[in-house]
Chains A and B, each alone.
Chain A
Amino acid sequence: MNRELESLDAVFREMPDLKVEHTGPRRTRIQVEADALPTLLELLKGRAGYLHLSAISCVDWPDTEEFELVYHLWSYQVSNLISAHTRIPYDPGRYVSVYDLHAPAVYFERDIHEMFGVWFEGCPDQEPFILTEWQGPPPMRKSFDTVAYVNDTFEWREYQPEWANDPSGGKG
C-alpha cells in the first residue's frame, strides 16, 4: 500500500507543474496542461497502478471557448480516484487519443467526438454511434439550444378538453 502511495508522489515529483488537490475521501483532482496529460496518464498507469479508466468527461466552456476534458482514473490497488482535468481550445478542437494507453478510451472519445465535435488524433473509431442520422451541430455544445430545436421541429399539442367550456364546473 505505502509503496504505491509513494509511487504516486514520485509521479508528482516528476511532473512539478501539476496542480494537485485532495477533494475528498479517495478523490484527487489534478489540473494538467493539455500537452502533459498523456505523460501523466502513462506515469499513473505504469508507476502508480491507475489501471482503470473509469470515464472521460467533456465540459463545454463557451466563455473561454474551451473544452475541458476530464479523465477519471481509478486505482484498484490503493482505492483512489484521480480526476485529471485539462483544457483544449475550441479551435482547432483536436486532442490526442489515449486509446493506446487505455483501450476503453475509444468509447468515451467516440462519444465526445459525436456530442461535442472534438477530434481525437489516433482514436481508432470515431464513427457516429447514437446520432447516426443527425445532420446538425454537435448537440452537447452549449451553443445548441434544445428548446429552440424542439420548438422548430415539433408542434405543441393543442387540447380541447370538455372542461374548457365550463372550467369552474359550477364551483365559481
Chain B
Amino acid sequence: MRPENYKPVQHSASHEYELYFGPNHPGIEGNYALKCVLSGDVVQSLRADGGYLHRGFEKIMEERLWIQNVALVPRICVPDPVPMEETYARAVEMLGGLEIPKRAQWIRALMLEASRVCAHLFYFGGHAATMGMYSNMFWGVTDRDLILDIFEEITGARIYHMYITPGGVRRDLPEGVLDRLSKVLDYVESRLPEFDNLFFDNAVVINRATGVGTLTTEQALSWGVTGPNLRACGLPFDVRRDDPYLIYDELDFDIPTETAGDAWARTLVRREELLQSIRILRQIIATLPKVGGPIRCALPNPLAWNVPAGSVYARTESSKGELGFFVVSKGGAKPWRVHVRGPSSMHAVHVLERLGPGSRLEDVAQIMFSLDACPPEVDR
C-alpha cells in the first residue's frame, strides 16, 4: 500500500494488535509485507501483502518480440535469474520444435548450477541474518561474488545475464573459464568448514531454527510445496530428476533430503544441495571440452519470427523450487500469453500464511527466509 493511502484503523479494545511487517524491513527479502495480527508476540494470523515489486512482466511479454523477452525474464528473480532464462527459452524451443545443440545444453546446465550455488550462498547468509547474525551474510555474499565474476566472464554481465536465448546461448565460453570456475568451486568447497563453524554447527543457530516453521509431509504435499522445501520434509522430488531437461539425465547427482520439515531442515538440505551442485559442475567442467559444435541452432530473423501456434508448460528446478512457464503462441511474432509459476509464489503466500499463525514474531522473518520466498518473483 502506498503510504498516502494508509488510513489508521480504530480497532475496538482487544488483546490483539495488527503489525505491518515490511514492506521495508531488514528481515524481509525484497519489498514485501506481512500483515500480522499478534497477541503478545505470538502470531494469530498472517496475511501476505505483495505487489511492491510488481512490474507486470507477464503483460509486457505479450507486447514484445520473442527474442526481446530474453532481456526481461531474468529480472523476475534477482537472486536466481538463470532458471528464468532457461525456462522461457526452453518453452519457446518446445513451441518452435527447435533442437538445441549439445554444447549449448551443457553450457546452460553449467549456468543453472552455478546460479544455484550463488542462490544457496545467498540463502545461508540471509537465513542467518534473520536471526541477527550478519557475518554469515557477508561471507555468503563475498563468496557468491566470485561466481558472479565467472558469470561476468561468460555472459558479460553479473546478475541479469540475458545469456540463454531460445535456440541455445549467445556466446561460447571464453578461454580458460572452466579452469577458473574449477578454482572457484574448490574455494567455495573449502569455505564450507568455516561456514560449518560459524553457522551449521552453531548451537545457538540450531536452537533458533529447529522446530520453527515446521511443515509436515502431508501439509507440504497438499499445500503445493516444491523444491528444497519439499525435500526438507523427506520427499525426494526434483524436476531435474523426475522431468529432466537439457542433459540432466546424463549427470550423476543425489537428491538430498531431510525429514524434520522445519527451518533448520530446509537450510541443511540446501547445504547438501550446494555440494551436489558443485559435484554436477565438476562433471560439466570435465565433459564440456569434449562437447564441440555450435552454441545455438539456426533461428529466423528475430524481428520477423513467428513461433508456431500452440501452448507448452516448461518446468525447471530452480534453487527455490519448481519454476514453470506456460507459454501460448498464436503463431505470431510475440507471445500471446506467458504465465510464470514463480517457485516461491506458493511458499511466500499460501504456505507462509498457513505456517505463520502460532509462531513467534521473532521467527516470522526466519520462516519466510527459510522458505526462500522471493518477492520479485511472486509479484512478477
Contact = CB atoms under 8 A, between A and B. Distances in A.
A102 B223 CA distance: 8
A59 to B, nearest CB: 5
A11 interface: no
Contact of B337 (A54, A60, A74): A60
B11 interface: no
B149 interface: no
Contact of A147 (B2, B63, B326): B63
A130 B54 contact: yes
A130 B50 contact: yes
Contact of B56 (A24, A72, A129, A146): A146
A133 B221 CA distance: 33
A107 interface: yes
A51, A57, A131 interface centre (most CB from chain B within 10 Å):
A57
Given A54-B341, A140-B58, A83 B224 contact: no
B2 A107 contact: no
A59 B337 contact: yes
Given A81-B313, A81-B315, A103-B222, A129 B50 contact: yes
A153 interface: no
A27 interface: yes
Given A53-B224, A140-B59, A104 B350 contact: yes
Interface residues of A, number: 38
B328 interface: yes
Given A24-B94, A26-B243, A103-B350, A76 B328 contact: no
Contacts of B58: 115, 140
If over half of B's interface residues share one DSSP class (helix, strand or loop), that class is named, otherwise mixed; here it is mixed
Interface string A43-84: 000000001111101111000000000101010100101010
Given A57-B337, A130-B379, A132-B1, A79 B243 contact: yes
B253 interface: no
Contacts of B379: 130
B326 A133 contact: no
A23 interface: yes
A63 to B, nearest CB: 10
A29 B328 CA distance: 13
Interface residue tally of chain B, by bracket?
Answer: 35 or more
A102 to B, nearest CB: 7
B356 to A, nearest CB: 15
A124 B242 CA distance: 32
Contacts of B54: 130-131
B63 A57 contact: no
A52 B51 contact: no
Nearest to B327: A57
A146 to B, nearest CB: 6
Interface in A124-154: 129-133, 139-140, 144, 146-147
A38 to B, nearest CB: 17
Contacts of A139: 56, 59
Contact of B349 (A26, A55, A107, A140): A107
Interface in A81-108: 81, 83, 85, 102-104, 106-107
Nearest to A131: B51
Contact of B324 (A26, A55, A132): A55
Given A139-B59, A140-B58, A57 B312 contact: no
B336 interface: yes
B69 interface: no
Contact of A81 (B222, B224, B235, B243): B243
B46 interface: no
B345 interface: yes
6 contacts: A54-B324, A55-B339, A57-B339, A72-B324, A133-B1, A146-B56
Interface of B: 1-2, 5, 48-51, 54, 56, 58-60, 63, 94, 221-224, 226, 235, 237, 242-243, 311-313, 315, 322, 324, 326, 328, 336-337, 339, 341, 345-346, 349-350, 379
Given A59-B311, A103-B350, 9 more contacts: A27-B312, A72-B324, A74-B243, A76-B235, A129-B349, A133-B5, A139-B56, A144-B59, A146-B56
